[in-house]
Amino acid sequence: MTRTKSPFMLPAAFLITFVFTAPILWMVLAAFKTINDIYAIPPVWLPDFTYLENFRLLLSENWQFLLNSVLVTLGATVLCMAFALPAAFGLVNFKFAARNFLADWILSTRMMPPIAAAVPLFIIFNSVGMLDTIPALVIVYAGFNLPFAIWVAMSFFRNIPKEIIEAARVEGCSWFQTFRLVALPLAKSGIATVATFVFIFAWNELLLALFLTTREAKTFPVVISSFSTVTKTYWELISAATIIQILPPVIFTLIMQRHIVSGLTMGAVKN
């Protein structure tokens, strides 16, 4: 029995794609427009793509905040993965009485919105002199992404055949050697998937950075939010900053694409 394709499927696919990509397309075009072109009637559809004044002005005053975002995101991703992977491996392979309770408790902490802890975190970091510092944001971002990373990594470690882990133990490997030499290489696609999501979550975080920073450790999403004021919205700067903001996750995802696709399909087919 052959399936006939509806003649409306292709136009519908193009329409849905356009609806979801239109805001991004508008931002890309607006980033190369002057403020007069943005508000021009009739609208200027195709700007001068050699006009880079918006990017020059944006980066000349805010490049250090972009660097802060890079440092915080990379630091949070590395720190989160350093704790999440051993924890996930242990929860999958070690049998103890409270294992299921501990795993469920870890997941339950993810249900709390991060902003709910903003005031306690503000008080803690202020009391120890870490308010408005990059290490503080690294710790907070890593901590709030840790439950997600542990639970997703657990699903990938479960897909490693128990016989391989047991064989490594029989051959004399310690648990740390089994984790480092056997489990990590076998789950590398899954690890890349987890790291990509943690990277994106940390890169796009706004509320905690807005609450815990003032000047020195301010991140790029906070800078973007500052372009909309009570009296005026700087659309040309918002557009340029948005393009810069979306580039690192896109590049990171493209680099990890092969591993992500493999990781997302791990365990999809059972024998």
Residue 269's pLDDT band, with cuts at 50, 70 and 90, is very low
Is 260 within 8 Å of 193 (Cβ atoms)? yes
Q: How far apart are CA 74 and CA 96, in angstroms?
A: 34
- What pLDDT does 176 receive? 93
Counted residue by residue, the chain has a size of 271
Q: Which of 127, 197, 118 is nearest to 156 (CA)?
A: 197
Mean pLDDT of the chain: 89
The tokens for 45 are: 């559809």
Query: What's residue 6's pLDDT?
Result: 66
The whole-number pLDDT of residue 266 equals 55
Q: What digits encode the pLDDT tens for the residues 193-248?
A: 899 999 999 999 999 999 999 989 999 999 999 998 888 899 999 999 999 999 99
In this predicted structure, the answer to whether residue 262 has a pLDDT above a threshold of 80 is no
Planar angle of CA 10, 11, 17, nearest 5 degrees:
90
**pLDDT per residue as tens digits for the range 76-115:** 999 999 999 999 999 999 988 888 889 889 888 888 888 8
**Could you check whether the bond before residue 135 is cis, i.e. omega within 30 degrees of 0?**
no
Q: Are 68 and 219 in contact (CB under 8 A)?
A: yes
CB 223, CB 65: distance < 8 Å: yes
Q: Map residue 228 onto helix, strand or coil.
A: strand
Strand partners, 228: 233
Confidence label for 264 from pLDDT (cuts 50, 70 and 90): low
Q: How far apart are CA 195 and CA 249, in angstroms?
A: 11
User: Which of 266, 100, 253, 73 shows the shortest CA–CA distance to 186?
Assistant: 266
d(Cα 108, Cα 203) in Å, to the nearest integer?
A: 23
Strand partners, 233: 228
How far apart CA 196 and CA 73 sit, in angstroms, is: 11
Indicate whether 265 pLDDT > 80: no
Contact 124, 212 (CB under 8 A): no
Each residue's pLDDT tens digit, 119-170: 999 999 999 999 999 999 999 999 999 999 999 999 899 989 999 999 999 9
d(CA 83, CA 203): 19
CA-CA distance, 122 to 57, in Å (whole number)? 32
Q: CA–CA separation, 133 vs 61, rounded Å?
A: 19
Provide the pLDDT confidence category of residue 58 given band limits of 50, 70 and 90: very high
**CA 255 to CA 246: how far, in whole Å?**
15
Q: Which of 204, 93, 106 is nearest to 150 (CA)?
A: 106
CA 194/CA 77 separation, integer angstroms: 9
